[in-house]
Amino acid sequence: MRTAYTSDQIRAAEQALMAELPEGTLMQRAAAGLAVVCARLLTGVHGRVYGSRVTVLTGSGDNGGDALFAGARLARRGARVVAVLAGSRTHQAGLDALLKAGGRATAYTPQAAEEHIADADLVMDGLVGIGGSGALREPYGTLAGMLAGTRAVVVAVDVPSGVDASTGQVGGNTGQVDGPAVRAHMTVTFGAYKSGLLIHPGATHAGAVELVDIGLGPHLPDPDVVALTDEDVAGMLPRPAAESDKYRRGVVGIIAGSDRYTGAAVLSAGGAVRAGAGMVRFASSAEPVALVRARWPEVVTTVLGAEPGRASIEEVGRVQAWVLGPGMGTGPEAHALAAAVLASDVPVLVDADGLTIVAADRDLLRRSAPTVMTPHAGELSRLLGVPRKQIEARRLEHVRQAARELGVTVLLKGSTTLIAEVGRPVRAITTGTPWLATGGTGDVLSGIAGAFMAGGLSGYDAVSAAAHVHGLAARIAAKGHGPGEAPIAALDVALALPEALRRL
């Protein structure tokens, strides 16, 4: 499990550790680790460190000092290092070390910066560290723009400049996600992961993230955000034992699909079947039921609403968890079905049209059994009454707000999927591929999570494991048997689930 922390948590841990060590020790540890990573990258790109060209962009704080000391280490190995001093002041000890090692320094001008960035094999972004907040001021914003067009490898020092280390927010408090910020190929972060490096849009700007251990571990508190690993998820997954039968493995009930949205029925049922549910009970109107029977003969189906004006779930049978909403519609009969399901005494996952129904009738959430909701940003906007752009810009803040306000577990879909529950660290899901951004994949996710809930996992663990497995299955489907990735359809993800689970 990768644990991540806010800027305040990191700074407190650093202060506690610095009180135990000689002055400057932490900066030297950070610089040494940064230099090792940069040397490895230069060897991969240039073939060697000696003779390679490195540009160090430095700001006014300790982040610039880390970069200057790392530049000095590279200069001692024969790299041609030049520092562009862009801050109102410079970390003097770091600059002295660079010059003593044979590096050079120049004051910032647009022309000088553009020339040294264009000439570099590798550029270190040491402009703003974890203390930075709000939009990048000048000349840092201009430098971030210059880096967008460079052919050099861009390495962010601790956090990309312009990314809020605690939230992943970019562009300050403007509610936008496209403010000026450095887009790095790799971020070398010190001591512990920062929450903003795991959350979109910050995660997109960070690139690959490499952690350098500087000894903070004993001083770190409970994490702010965690990212699950394959090993974590493998330990969570329900597994059949010798005495298992289909009922012990978990029976999931699914209310999904309609005459208009038949595909949601097939996909959500398929997610549950392929994720290993002991039994899937599916209920809907006649047409989606017929399609589910044809595609998934294992599923026990029930036609609902045969009598106009009536919608009952009693005939479906006993289940250990419900999935409610994909493609079910939002009319009076759909509302009646949602009310019946949410009145039950078992966990319920609410998705898609179910979220629209609940957004219009919050009283449906007054229940004693666990409830999980899986919105995308637009659906969360309706649930919270907050503009979608604000949610996309401050995802961590709003997923927590939703869990607190609604009293449920919330999975916020997106390029970084986030799971929030009151009293627990937010989980960030880092598997997956951009090819998942296609219709129907969310329906598959609902089925997977429903199967895991029916198998005995808590809502928090079930949606966390489901999102992780869903992402792995998408990568398997997109990869196929050749190099690179190719477009996928939602059914491809469902069909790849057994292989994803086998790999775990």
Q: Which residues are annotated as a binding site for (6S)-NADPHX?
A: 62-66, 129-135, 140, 158, 264, 327, 376, 443
Say which amino acid occupies 17.
Answer: L
List residues bridging with 155 in a β-sheet.
124, 186
Type of residue found at 322: W
Annotated binding site for K(+): 63, 125, 161
Residue 186: phi and psi, rounded to 5, are -145, 140
| CA atoms lying within 13 Å on the CB side of residue 393 | 17
DSSP output for 246-312 = TTTT-EEEEE---SS-HHHHHHHHHHHHHTT-SEEEEEE-HHHHHHHHHH-TTSEEEE---STT---
Go through the chain and tell me how many residues it has.
Answer: 504
Contact (Cβ atoms closer than 8 angstroms) between residue 34 and residue 156:
no
Q: Are strands 321-324 and 251-255 parallel, antiparallel or unpaired?
A: parallel
3-state secondary structure 448-459: HHHHHHHCCCCH
Residues annotated within the binding site are: 62-66, 125, 129-135, 140, 158, 161, 264, 327, 376, 413-417, 442-443
CA distance 175 to 161: 18
Consecutive H or E run containing 57: strand 53-58
Structure-token match 């990258």, residue found: 41
Residue 51 tokens read as 């003779």
Alpha carbon distance 432, 475 (integer Å)? 6
Please tell me the distance from the alpha carbon of residue 127 to that of residue 159, in angstroms, as a whole number: 10
Output the known binding site for AMP: 413-417, 442
Residue 380, token pair as written in the block? 């969360």
Please answer whether residues 346 and 280 qualify as being in contact, where contact means their C-beta atoms are separated by less than 8 angstroms: no
How far apart are the C-alpha atoms of 467 and 262, rounded to whole Å? Answer: 23
In three-state secondary structure terms, 5 is: strand
**Separation between Cα atoms, residue 448 and residue 269, nearest integer Å:** 9
Q: Number of helices and strands (H, E) in the chain?
A: 18, 19
Which residue's structure tokens are 């029916």? 454
Give CA–CA dist 504/500, Å, rounded: 6
DSSP secondary structure, 356-380, as one string: HHHHH-GGGG--SS-EEE---HHHH
Going by their DSSP bridges, the two strands 225-227 and 2-5 should be labelled as antiparallel
